[in-house]
Amino acid sequence: MDGFAQPEHTEGTVSATPGTSGASPVRNRMVSRVHTVAFNGIDVLDIDCQVQLSSGMVAFNIVGLPDKAVAESRERVRAALAAMGLALPPRRITVNLAPADVLKEGSHFDLPIAVAVLMAMDVLPNDAFDAHTILGELALDGAITRVAGVLPAAIGANAAGRGIVCPAEQGGEAAWAGDIDVLAPASLLSLVNHVKGTQVLSRPEPALAADDTPIPDLRDVKGQESAKRALEIAAAGGHNLLMMGPPGSGKSMLAARLPGLLPPLSPAEGLETSMVLSVAGELAGGRIRMRRAFRDPHHSATLPALIGGGLRARPGEASLAHNGVLFLDELPEFDRRSLEALRQPLESGRAVIARANAHVTYPARFQLVAAMNPCKCGWLDDPALACGRVPRCAADYQSKISGPLFDRIDLHVDVPAVRPADLALPAPAEGTAEIAARVAVARRLQTARFADYPDAVAHGVTVNAHADGELLDDIAAPDAEGLRLLSDAADRLHLSARAWHRIRRVARTIADLDGADQVRRVHIAEALGYRRVAPGR
């Protein structure tokens, strides 16, 4: 194979071509098969890649409902084989991706097609990869490049009792699937040499993303003690938070410091979060992330970008923030339809994308943090700066947030303008580390409490914000005085049933921060203080 660099660990040079003319002698034979996958959200569908070489007009056809990227695989396969010194035989080559009624999307079908063609050409034994799932994209020089979805594909292969063949760059990603055989070749040639025994592909080790990105400290925020308290409660219980205040009051600064208060992902949460990132092609270097996501899309984001969708029904920002934080700055400036589409994920923890050619469900259990100005000009409470339309402009601006969406946000906090005297003060004594320690204690209390409710945990209930129904009645029943206060407030403020439950969840978190076994009146009172009735009121 003149001109083609041999991969590392290759012992000698072994030709992948049994003949001398660059193409192996081919006879009519049975179909060669390899296992590969298609994706429906983060769910994996087994695909049987079948190749047959037969007599007839010379052609290379791919059937089985392929999209454009799959149809172009024949040119990449042809070039990759040529880089190895092989030529496609002058036969009719038919590639079938079964089941044929499932749409095949993506470039990861290159490698299984190439391997099945090599089997049909007698370059590789026909049973060489019976116990493996194969996926990867081929470069024109035969290199195997990264593709989306390796982690869920490896988990699916493990469930089916198979190993996996994937790009070398993503071997560490596949290794997280468990005790399975992982082959991560850098090129098609190295995979062939591994089968022939002239090269040994070592099993890659599970790879973790480095958490060395500095997280901003809450000590940088001067003043805003009420907002800091609301941020601590939101972190401790996983509650949604809306901050409202004039420009420059520190809303974005506070939101950016929330990830520093949150505990790291559990192994199960990290794996599920990374599966979404893997399908989206955002798992850089095949490294699993254990830090909670912080997604902050611009307010010009479209509905498919926020919820998911598009040509291939990709996950949106709501799913990419799974088990993390979705920060929406300038909330009223987002498209109304996009914001309304968040209502279902906020309740169910799932983003369901229904299209004519796809029905896909992605996990989307995120913590919503939003920030907004009180009015269009932003200076509602400052007579010297407010526009001439006050207070009408505030009502019009805040009404862009619908009542149902507003009702799904647990904590509503005002963030007033910071006075120059506060800015001149030294940094506060308490920062992210001190508050995060209290949050960790409250989270441990919740974990221990939910351990008595295994069915709830199995359905994703890990923090107070997820509790509902009988579970909420058990863990957040207030004392007599607290129940009386909550009932009176519900009557006077005309609270919805959803608001009633959300106030109890927040009160339970406040009680956890206090180390109290039962929700008391003082906890209910503080929770009510973080509740607005409706936008503009």
pLDDT digits (tens, 9 = 90+) for 116-148: 999 999 999 999 999 999 999 999 999 999 999
At residue 178, what is the residue type?
A: G
The Cα–Cα gap between 492 and 481 comes to 17
> Given this model, what pLDDT does residue 355 score?
76
> Given this model, what pLDDT does residue 338 score?
93
Token output for 217: 């400290």
Does residue 168 have a pLDDT over 90? yes
- Mean pLDDT of the 229-251 span: 94
Using DSSP, how many helices (H) and how many strands (E) does the chain show? 22, 18
The CA radius of gyration of the chain, in Å to the nearest whole number, is: 28
CB 321 within 8 A of CB 269: no
Does residue 23 have a pLDDT over 50? no
Token output for 17: 């071509």
Percent composition of the chain: helix, strand, coil (DSSP 3-state, to 5): 40, 15, 45
> Given this model, what pLDDT does residue 320 score?
95
Closest Cα to residue 461, out of 428, 505, 492, 423? 505
Does residue 537 have a pLDDT over 70? no
- Mean pLDDT of the 278-292 span: 85
Does residue 62 have a pLDDT over 60? yes
The Cα–Cα gap between 445 and 70 comes to 50
The Cα–Cα gap between 123 and 116 comes to 10
Other beta carbons within 10 angstroms of residue 357's beta carbon come to: 8
Confidence band (pLDDT; 50, 70, 90) for 334?
very high
> Given this model, what pLDDT does residue 387 score?
75
Continuous H helices in 312-413: 317-320, 336-340, 343-348, 392-398, 403-407
**Is beta strand 163-165 parallel, antiparallel or unpaired with respect to 132-134?**
parallel
- Of 195-209, 294-308, 382-396, where does mean pLDDT reach its minimum? 382-396
- Mean pLDDT of the 361-381 span: 88
The Cα–Cα gap between 506 and 235 comes to 11
What percentage of the chain reaches a pLDDT higher than 70?
92
Other beta carbons within 10 angstroms of residue 433's beta carbon come to: 12
At residue 169, what is the residue type?
A: E
The Cα–Cα gap between 516 and 449 comes to 13
- Mean pLDDT of the 181-199 span: 94
CB 151 within 8 A of CB 275: yes
At residue 145, what is the residue type?
A: T
> Given this model, what pLDDT does residue 513 score?
96
| Planar angle of CA 222, 226, 228, nearest 5 degrees | 60
Does residue 161 have a pLDDT over 80? yes
pLDDT (tens digit per residue) in 30-51: 789 999 999 998 999 999 999 9
> Given this model, what pLDDT does residue 390 score?
73
pTM for the whole structure: 0.86
pLDDT (tens digit per residue) in 434-483: 999 999 999 999 999 999 999 888 888 889 999 988 899 999 999 999 99
The Cα–Cα gap between 296 and 327 comes to 5
